Structure 1
Amino acid sequence: MSRTERPLPEGRLDGATHFSSDHAESSSDRAYRVIKDAIIRGTLAPRITVSEAQLARRLDMSRTPVHQAVARLAGDGWVSVAPRSGVQISDVDADDLSDVYETLLALEGSAAARLASRKPGPDELDEQLVDACIQCEDALRDEDLLLWAEKDNELHNLLLRGCGNRRLWHAATTVAEQAHRARLLTAKLRPWPTSSNEDHRRIVDAILDRDADEARKALEHHRRRGMATLLPILRAMNPSRTTFIE
């Protein structure tokens, strides 16, 4: 059975029972968040087609908020919708991912430089960055590539979230999520990511040294290395036929 023919697990979508305790979150927002997370993590695999009715059943909610969520997901590029054909989960396209990495290179480079421009530390954020590096290294030492991909994503999110520019952080959110999806999809197909962990140390060391120029350069080098690693893998992956899940 190919990746695109993999059925959804029985029951609710992953994460559907772990909703935010924030009562302000609407059903539509909740559906958007859970469906997007399922796409990122591969529960909803690239190129499969599902119906809004199926999504509503798996989310245990009515069709209206699911329909609203699907419209948002389509606007953000996570799905495409064809009348009477269902909701198709977007593929992970190598050319599009190249644009994603180019965007992240610029935004994360700025974030790393901002972090390195803070007053001399050490401070709590420095400790969090070091700990994030250690968690990446521990995951690789345990030979858990999926956990490594999660910890790698957490480190990059910390760089963006901690830089002090909320607009930069929000601007980077969608492309960072798309990069994480590709990272999870290719985690077991890529070379052993020892060099990525080494890059993390160089980035964080430059931030600890408060060397903004070196932090930006190290981050940009890291993202270019990621492009050179993942794009050939994605181009070599043969897309399978689209299937509709009943």
Structure 2
Amino acid sequence: MTAADRVYHIIKQRILNGSYAAGSYVREAAIGEELDYSRTPIREALRRLVSDGWVEAIPHHGARVVSWTQHDVEEVFELRVLLEPQVVRRATKRISEVQISTLSRFADQMEILCQQDDERAVDEIAVLNNQFHAELVTAADSPRLQRLLETIVQVPVSRRSFHHYTREELLGSMQHHREIIRALQHGDGEWAAAIMRAHILAARIAQMRQKQPANKVEVDHRFSKGLLIS
């Protein structure tokens, strides 16, 4: 890894474990002094963290860990459970064989990564999961649904979910992907919608399990630029 990669992963892990609390500032000078890095890799890492939704750039103040209240997270999942089943319901009537093959490839890659006990593997699963859900939205062919989801679903919430999954929950999420694919192959929209609903509800349980002080969730996982991960 490059120096910027190392700084990125260190800061992100501290956000995940609560060392950097929601609303706190990540100071370049303090990180540089502690890790003995110049400001260049630290700034690059912070730019990536902003892009990925872990921190936000506050003019004249620096990088601040994104804050989410428990209410915010609950509301996101309430809206997802209404919208995403409709996405797969529409997709069953419109999806192509090529798109089903793409979904199967993403599912294969995620299942391989599930065999690795590594934080980076979890991050890769989250990226692939975003791609899986994005492919479903494309197949649904509904610009309105896509715009709604891109507005509602935020990166940190979904990434957070994967880091909070138990091993059993992670494997269950992978099984949901496979069953959604089978429902799509059979053209059964209600089956696909039912599994997607279960998929999102399971992600909500994993996310909301965390007890947060002052009604705040630890900002740790991944759709301010795309779809939520579950």
Name the residue aligned to 2:91: 115
Structure 2 portions without partners, runs of 5+: 1-13, 32-38, 215-230
Q: What is the rounded CA distance, in whole Å, between the counterparts of 2:108 and 2:46 in structure 1?
A: 27
Secondary structure in structure 2 of the residue aligned to 1:97: helix
Report the aligned-residue RMSD.
2.9
- Scaled by the length of structure 1, what TM-score is found? 0.63
Structure 1 portions without partners, runs of 5+: 17-33, 56-86, 240-246
Using the TM superposition, give the Cα deviation of residue 90 of structure 1 relative to its aligned residue in structure 2, in angstroms. Answer: 3.9
* Maintained 8 Å contact 2:91/2:184: yes
Give the 3 Å change call, closer, same or farther, for CA 210–15 of structure 1 in structure 2: farther
Give the 3 Å change call, closer, same or farther, for CA 187–181 of structure 1 in structure 2: same
* Maintained 8 Å contact 1:115/1:163: yes
Name the residue aligned to 2:129: 152
More helix by share: 2
Give the 3 Å change call, closer, same or farther, for CA 15–163 of structure 1 in structure 2: farther
- Scaled by the length of structure 2, what TM-score is found? 0.67
Q: What is the rounded CA distance, in whole Å, between the counterparts of 1:107 and 1:140 in structure 2?
A: 27
* Maintained 8 Å contact 2:87/2:136: yes
Of residues 26, 33, 37, the one that matches 2:51 is 37
Equivalent AA in structure 2 for residue 118 of structure 1: R
* Maintained 8 Å contact 1:118/1:210: no
Using the TM superposition, give the Cα deviation of residue 162 of structure 1 relative to its aligned residue in structure 2, in angstroms. Answer: 2.4
The size of the alignment, in residue pairs, is 180
Q: What is the rounded CA distance, in whole Å, between the counterparts of 2:126 and 2:152 in structure 1?
A: 16
Of residues 62, 68, 71, the one that matches 1:92 is 68
Q: What is the rounded CA distance, in whole Å, between the counterparts of 1:105 and 1:114 in structure 2?
A: 15
Name the residue aligned to 1:53: 60
Secondary structure in structure 2 of the residue aligned to 1:106: helix
Q: What is the rounded CA distance, in whole Å, between the counterparts of 1:93 and 1:203 in structure 2?
A: 31
Deviations 1:115-148 (A, max 9, x none): 11237x6x11111111111121122123321211
Q: What is the rounded CA distance, in whole Å, between the counterparts of 2:190 and 2:126 in structure 1?
A: 27
Name the residue aligned to 1:205: 182
1:65-84 counterparts in 2 under 5 A? none
Q: What is the rounded CA distance, in whole Å, between the counterparts of 1:108 and 1:158 in structure 2?
A: 12
Instruction: Give yes or no for the alignment of 1:238 onto 2:228.
Output: no
Of residues 9, 27, 30, the one that matches 1:7 is 27
Equivalent AA in structure 1 for residue 51 of structure 2: D
* Maintained 8 Å contact 2:87/2:137: yes
Of residues 86, 93, 113, the one that matches 1:139 is 113
Using the TM superposition, give the Cα deviation of residue 104 of structure 1 relative to its aligned residue in structure 2, in angstroms. Answer: 1.4
Using the TM superposition, give the Cα deviation of residue 213 of structure 1 relative to its aligned residue in structure 2, in angstroms. Answer: 0.7
Equivalent AA in structure 1 for residue 76 of structure 2: V
**Who wins on radius of gyration, i.e. which is larger?**
1
Q: Percent identity between the aligned chains?
A: 16
Name the residue aligned to 1:181: 156
